[in-house]
Amino acid sequence: MIRQMFGAIALSTTLIVYLISPTLAQDPFRATNQRPIGEKTEAAFKAMFEQGDYISADRYLKAISGNEQQEPLAYAMRASLAYVLNEDYNSLGNYGKKTLDTARQLTSTDPLRGNLYSAVGHFLLGASALFREGTVKGTPQALAELRQVYEYMDKAEAISSTDPELNLLRGYMDLMVSVNLPFSNPEQAIGRLQRFAGPKYLSERGVAVGYRDLKKFPQAIEAVDRAMKASNGNPELYYLKGQILSTYGNQQKSAAMLQESVKNFDLAIAKKAQLPPDLVKQIERERRKAAQRLSVVAQQK
């Protein structure tokens, strides 16, 4: 169960890099007390989340130098990319340690972000141990690291319980945990994302995933549409909408929804050169399933 939980979080388009949407001119979370993070880190984030371009994001991060080498977000992103692009568990752990080290340095000047990234660093170390050592050997360390994750999350929440950055990260984490643990409910995570989290294209994406898992498909479609409107042609959002429409269209025996599902999968696949190879394979598998469902429904009409 613990391996499934870590895997679900890591595979959910890399939870760790959902921490902040940086820009040179302003902090999209806060009207005051804005946090600059560096040009290359900003470019990497925009490539990944405005465009869904993992390859360009990786290139920007490898070019980081100077003061940006003290930015924990950069190491969290590198850890996530090492996992999703190459399944490199050693680099996942190494960058997790760098995330934790730089977060500790940040805590003295920015305790909110310092505690948030300390949580991220411990999460990455736990995930690395679990994937590298296997379930039997890795679970004790993973559980120990997970306790630290929530300890630092609680410290950050004590500083500002309505902070958009905090609520985005915690909302996604709570959402993934609720899917993988019995007697948990995604509704609380959805509410956190809706009320406090930002930027919109990431918070609405999380809401769409939550409603998808609750099988509330109309609400999921509305949320992913809002995320797409706020984003910039991210193929992962086309994938998510295709996924939702495929399941809902099959449930309703709707050829129109299934056709729209295939269309969205095709829009995602059209940008496959910028996505992780394993994700492309998954999209192609689900596209074939949607096409098969469409064929069956069409024959029944």
Comparing 44 with 99, the larger pLDDT belongs to 99
17: in domain: yes
Percent of the chain with pLDDT over 70: 87
The residue range of the domain holding 143 is 1-159
**Is 16 contained in some domain?**
yes
pLDDT tens per residue, range 226-238: 999 998 899 999 9
5 within a domain of the structure (yes/no): yes
- Predicted confidence (pLDDT) at residue 223 exceeds the cutoff of 80: yes
**Structure confidence at residue 177 (pLDDT):** 78
- Comparing 147 with 1, the larger pLDDT belongs to 147
pTM of the predicted protein model:
0.87
Confidence band (pLDDT; 50, 70, 90) for 8?
very low
Establish if 209 belongs to a structural domain. no
Residue 63 in domain: yes
User: Is residue 177 assigned to a domain?
Assistant: no
6: in domain: yes
Higher pLDDT, 294 or 174: 294
236 within some domain: no
What's the structural domain count of the chain?
1
Please give the C-alpha separations between residue 143 and each of 64, 112, 129, 146, in angstroms, as whole numbers.
32, 23, 10, 5
Q: What is the pLDDT of residues 116-132, one digit of tens each?
A: 999 999 999 998 998 88
